[in-house]
Structure 1
Amino acid sequence: MSSTTSTTSTEHTASALTRLKAAQKSAKGVSLYSRFVNRPAGRYLAAGAYRLGLTPNQVTAISAVFSFAAVATAACASPTWGTGLLVWLGLAVGFAFDSADGQLARLRGGGSAAGEWLDHVVDCAKITALHTAVLIAFHRHPGHFGTGADGWLLVPLGFQLAAVVTFFGGLLTEQLKRKAAPGAGAGAGAGASAAPSTVRAVALLPVDHGVFCLVFLLLGGGSAFRWAYTVLGAAAALFLLAFLTKWFRELSAPPR
């Protein structure tokens, strides 16, 4: 009996994986990390969640638990190599579950407005809290990070500003474009079938959340973490300017 049950469960999971693979969102505008690491990991997590009977909102809650546990660790624990590993692991797992909730919703036939709202609220809170945690760590351990000068405390604040405005601007642009062209959804499939640009996928790596999480592996390195974090912050600011220009031009263009 147990062998039969195990076989059935395996077949159920395999079927869910097959359906999930066929229901992926377009890879256009997605970095290599998200395309080849995070989305596949999320696909397996979504299949497992489907087998366990979890809802997308429950998966979002699991993502939040891992992510905010990592944030609390970054803010409160001593900045050692072991702490950095734990922070990265919590953020990476949380990010994978963040991909899984949407995939699970599509597997179950589509998500809800409340579920999408919850997902975005958690994402926004995670982004804001994570850079706040870095600010707290810089303030608590200036000797370790070499952040005795107050100017270094502006780095996480600037990074946070760039990350939040990019997140909000992207969401708002998407909603306004949908409002301007309510029938665009019908043609989304045609765009999704086009091969995504590898060059663009590589270029987007500096602002991919999964790549950003990797910087916490340097937490025990003090100044190495500070400089790596600063470089990614500068990249976020530059990409923000590019994104804002692109989005404004798209929304200013006359309807076709």
Structure 2
Amino acid sequence: MILTSHADLADEKEQTGAWLSTFTDAYYVFIRAGFEVTVASPKGGRPPLDPLSEQDEHTTDEVRTYRDDFMAQMEMGNTWSLEEVGSTVYDAVYIADGHGALWDLADNRQVGKLLYECLLNDTPVAMVGHGVAAVLSLSKLRPAVLNGVRITGFTPTEEALLKRHPYLPFSLTDRLKASGAQFGHAIIPFTPHVETDGIFITGQNPASTAMAAQALVARMAVEQLCCD
């Protein structure tokens, strides 16, 4: 599981970071499936959390579980750096939402190399919201890799409703389309939507987290059956 390490919006007056429920809601899907989870971020240590994601209106059942779960808090508070885990082989990769990803995951050589290894090994990758920006790091290594790939992510409408679009370094949707991706999304903002194409499982927004994580678990179960 990968979370952003970037905390500041462009004007440095508002804070961002990882969106908490896109960690917790996926984390518990993986734990209940019996997976061993490694949590990482570009810088390691405790990643910043978007203050908005900690407000009551965005609190999910899994966030409440996390707040009473010492071990999960330890894993979140002491992430490995991407450099430390870069040479490790994983069965799957999950990348959480958070505006910070537009700064430190969209142009990150370590992320690009990790996703390239996933591509070579047919390792499934699930990404949610702004975490989908990580594929832009891969497209820098393989410029045509997203051509025709069905993908989703946080939409311009959702950005506008959050009123954060003036601070962002680029439009995620525009960059994905410019890289050749076929961008899909839910008709109603902030409702669940998931696209699956090749190794990629992408969720549009935080509401899509559990669906994307469950799709990743299902994909791994199928591959395990094939291997057996």
TM-score normalized with structure 1 length: 0.28
TM-score normalized with structure 2 length: 0.30
Higher strand share: 2
Q: Looking at both structures, which has the greater relative contact order when contacts are Cα pairs under 8 Å and sequence separation is at least 6?
A: 1
Higher helix share: 1
